[in-house]
Amino acid sequence: MAEIGSRITIAQPSVGARIGKQLWAWRRLPLIPMFILAVFVATGLIAPLIAPHDPERGDIRARMVPPAWMEGGSTEYILGTDHLGRDMLSRVIYGARISLVVVAVTLGVGLVIGVIAGLLAGWYGRWIDELMMRIVDIKLAIPTILLALVLVLALGQSFLIIVAILAIAVWPRFARNTRGEVLQLKNMDYVSLAKVAGASTPRILFVHIFPGVVNTLIILASLEVGIVILLESTLSFLGAGVPPPTPAWGSMVADGRDRLAVAWWISTMPGIAIMMVVLAMNLFGDWLRDKLDPRLRQLE
């Protein structure tokens, strides 16, 4: 008997269908916030290569030149110049670099301090937990701006002082969230098995418990970026931030507050930069929370 076989042909999706499916998958991505943040990071990293002028060097003959698209503007100064003749575009670009460095250092220091404090408080409990949480409560009860002004007046204005102030402002949030996660995770079966196996406390904390806290820390850190940028800009606006003539977005806004009627671009350009980066970071943080929180993933 002749063996009769059948061949099943599976229809392959067309190129248009594959592209449409990919675009449908991308619809959930925060593409515009990601693009803004990518521009922000790239600008901060390569500021010396793309800035058309020295941000700290002015030309009195070119003071308060309007942006290039306005009457009296010049293509040499695309975003105009400030009251000292400094190029606004170059200052905004270098301001991104200052903000990027401040955010990276502040979150790094605050994250380390907060995670260690939260791990110890959640694991040991009792008086250690009570002491850590009362310190956190005291810090959260003190206005950050007031504390910053007092410390700057007492210790002087410098980049290190500003980073220290901002780190003091952010570490309690990391500590409180880490402590809450540890209180849940330390009662899990795998942690009990690690204790029975003779694992040391540092190993349990950093090998078994800490990975379970990482998602929460990533979400919190992404949301803290906008807060740090706003705090640094506020301090610079009040004259207690990054010392001049270093270009910082907050101090640039302050430079133009008395000249809004005649040179609105001095305050507006860095203000737009602050708004766009903070808004993009908050939207990106919300998206991360939806993706990394298992309770929210179950709702999709």
What is the reported pLDDT for 113? 92
Evaluate if residue 46 carries a pLDDT over 80. yes
13 domain residue, yes or no: no
Evaluate if residue 293 carries a pLDDT over 70. no
φ, ψ of residue 87 to 5 degrees: the values are: -70, 125
186 domain residue, yes or no: yes
What is the reported pLDDT for 12? 56
Nearest to 159 by CA among 53, 266, 60, 236: 236
Rounded CA separation 274/263 (Å): 19
Structure tokens at 217: 């820390």
Evaluate if residue 6 carries a pLDDT over 70. no
Respond yes or no on whether the N-terminal peptide bond of residue 245 is cis (omega within 30° of 0). Answer: yes
Q: With cut-offs at 50, 70 and 90, classify the pLDDT of residue 1.
A: very low
What is the reported pLDDT for 15? 53
What is the reported pLDDT for 25? 52
Structure tokens at 250: 């907050």
182 domain residue, yes or no: yes
- Positive or negative CA dihedral for 205, 210, 216, 219? positive
223 domain residue, yes or no: yes
231 domain residue, yes or no: yes
CATH code, domain carrying 154: 1.10.3720.10
24 domain residue, yes or no: no
Rounded CA separation 144/167 (Å): 11
What is the reported pLDDT for 27? 60
Which tens digits make up the pLDDT trace of 92-138? 999 999 889 999 999 999 999 999 999 999 888 888 889 988 998 88
Which tens digits make up the pLDDT trace of 177-205? 999 888 888 888 888 888 888 888 888 88
Which tens digits make up the pLDDT trace of 7-35? 555 555 665 555 555 545 556 778 888 99
Q: Which domain holds residue 88?
A: 31-297
Section 164-184 average pLDDT: 89
Rounded CA separation 234/134 (Å): 27
Please give the tally of structural domains in the chain. Answer: 1
What is the reported pLDDT for 14? 60
Section 223-232 average pLDDT: 88
Nearest to 243 by CA among 118, 159, 126, 176: 159
Flag the least confident range among 9-13, 155-159, 174-178, 277-281: 9-13
270 domain residue, yes or no: yes
17 domain residue, yes or no: no
Section 280-289 average pLDDT: 87
Residues 6+ apart with CB under 8 A from 194: 203, 204, 208
